[in-house]
Structure 1
Amino acid sequence: MKKTALAAALLAVMPVAAQADLLFTVGAKASVWNVEPTGQLDDGVSVEDDGLNLDSENGSQITVFFEHPVPFIPNLKLKQTSLELEGDGAINASFGDVTFSEDVTSTMDLSHTDLTLYWGLPLPIPFVDINFGLTARQFDGKAEVTGATAGTESVDLDFVLPLVYGEVKVDTPFGVYGHVDINYVGYGKNKLSDMSYGLGYDLPIPVVDIGLEAGYRKMTLQTDEDNVDIAADVDIGGMYYGASLSLGF
């Protein structure tokens, strides 16, 4: 009799606990992003092998997020991308206020931090989530070129951009999921398009959700020197590989 009562109590509590797991979610993601740069800086200085010759590099992406069911109050996501590219090349052009005609070493730091406020659409479609919102992106880097004769010229890449944010995620009953997310803004000669898409797998582990994910991310940045310190027209893209951890309560 006691065993029957205990089983009934557990069955009564289990749906409540499962529902509570869906109320609030905190989580984190981390990944390595292998990037290949193309394009130019300062209206004519190529970042490819015919100019600065910036190498492929591994950057890092770290994201923390918090989701809740309260209407009208946005969910929160904070993402830090660390990305510094280096290269040895040769240019015959002006960069900033200095003219180079020699072999050069260079760095381009495009590290940035995203603060995203977003809402989910209440769709009556199982396994499909659509989110939309706004992102404030703070670039905190620089581009620097050094030559033995001309010396060093450094230009700050330090500015904030407001972006429109959107995400679509499709889950399956088997733990496999796919997602696409994009941040975008365009005004005048300034444009930033940042898209990621990938596939992941949630491991069958109780209590917490642990996932593995791989995908592709491409960022296109165009800037007007009237608004920032330097004109840029660069594409940064490549595969990323990472893991995620989330907990509902």
Structure 2
Amino acid sequence: MKLWFKIVALTALSAVPVLSDILRVEAGGGAWMQTPKGTIAYETSTDSGSSTNREDQTQRGYAWLYVKHPVPVLPNLRLEYCNISTDGDVTVTLGSLIPVTTSSTSSFDTNEYDAVLYYNLLDNTFWTTLDLGVDIKALDYRFDVAPTNDLIAYGGYSKSGTLVLPLLYARARFEIPGTGLGIEGLGSYVSYQKSHVYDARVKADWTMTFVPGIQPGVEAGYRIQKITINVDDKAIDGDIDFSGLYVGAFLRF
């Protein structure tokens, strides 16, 4: 998954010098100060557990790349990456006939890769942009519960995998004429049976329009991501969200 994401991103960037007259490209990245909340549960044939996320703020990186082209029938492309992670405290239940409980700790880490195919319904029309499309979100996740050697010995638990979800994507943007300032909101959402995922953010940015050619800029906003999902029939049952401020920089070609 990581190799696929890098190949697509590098291919798009390598095309910029050749197609600079017909392509519009933006690329950026920064830090997301995320605070996790919620729980993650799991169940095996011999034990089960429920982990409560510690609400400790962590700083994680993100990156994005827009590629816009003038061909009406083909969708434009947006690529994104971010990392979400959290530690938790777990109550573990062992056995079924005479169950006993013990305590442990957990860690949850996910690398997210998004490939968004979208169309411009409005393309800076009266300084307004409106995009609509599909977000293919791939979650490379790992969940670990630490073994214990206290009064009750416990061997721990580990689960990892890749989950791919199609989400509806929308983006709205307004630019204040003559200032380089922009206000933007974007988000993705899907709901299926007992699972739903959404990823939403609002931001303000400033582009240094007085710089010719490649124009730098800075952005700041707020992002919230909610994941309620069941993986492999109770192997992992998560209800978690990550939210917080983010700041970054970008380049417009």
TM > 0.5 between the two? yes
2:217–2:250 Cα contact (<8 Å) kept: yes
Does residue 151 of structure 1 match 2:155?
A: yes
How many angstroms does 1:134 deviate by?
0.5
Match of 1:110 in 2: 110
Please give the alpha-carbon distance, in whole angstroms, between the structure 1 residues aligned to 2:123 and 2:206: 23
Higher strand share: 2
Match of 2:36 in 1: 37
Amino acid of the residue matched to residue 34 of structure 2? V
Does residue 191 of structure 1 match 2:196?
A: yes
Pairing of 1:228-239 with structure 2 (within 5 A): 229-239=235-245
Q: Deviations over 1:57-109 (max 9, x none)?
A: 1111111221111111111111111223235x353547xxxx99445332111
How many angstroms does 1:176 deviate by?
0.9
Q: Structure 1 residues 23 and 135 mapped into 2: Cα distance closer, same or farther (>3 Å)? A: same
Does residue 162 of structure 1 match 2:166?
A: yes
Match of 2:46 in 1: none
2:93–2:102 Cα contact (<8 Å) kept: no
Please give the alpha-carbon distance, in whole angstroms, between the structure 2 residues aligned to 1:162 and 1:229: 22
Pairing of 1:1-249 with structure 2 (within 5 A): 23-42=22-41, 45-48=50-53, 53=54, 55-87=56-88, 89=89, 91-93=91-93, 101-122=101-122, 125-148=125-148, 149-173=153-177, 174-203=179-208, 204-225=210-231, 229-247=235-253
1:91–1:100 Cα contact (<8 Å) kept: no
Please give the alpha-carbon distance, in whole angstroms, between the structure 2 residues aligned to 1:93 and 1:235: 25
Deviates more, 1:228-237 or 1:26-35: 228-237
Please give the alpha-carbon distance, in whole angstroms, between the structure 2 residues aligned to 1:213 and 1:195: 16
What TM-score do you get using the length of structure 1 for normalisation? 0.79
1:178–1:199 Cα contact (<8 Å) kept: yes
Q: Deviations over 1:19-62 (max 9, x none)?
A: x97731122110101111111111772433xxxx3632111111
The percent identity for this pair of structures is 26
Amino acid of the residue matched to residue 139 of structure 1? L
What TM-score do you get using the length of structure 2 for normalisation? 0.78
Give 5+ residue unaligned stretches, structure 2.
1-18, 43-48
Please give the alpha-carbon distance, in whole angstroms, between the structure 2 residues aligned to 1:194 and 1:72: 27
The alignment yields a C-alpha RMSD, in angstroms, of 2.4
Q: Structure 1 residues 124 and 206 mapped into 2: Cα distance closer, same or farther (>3 Å)? A: closer
Question: Paired residues, what number?
Answer: 219
Q: Deviations over 1:4-26 (max 9, x none)?
A: xxxxxxxxxxxxxxxx9773112
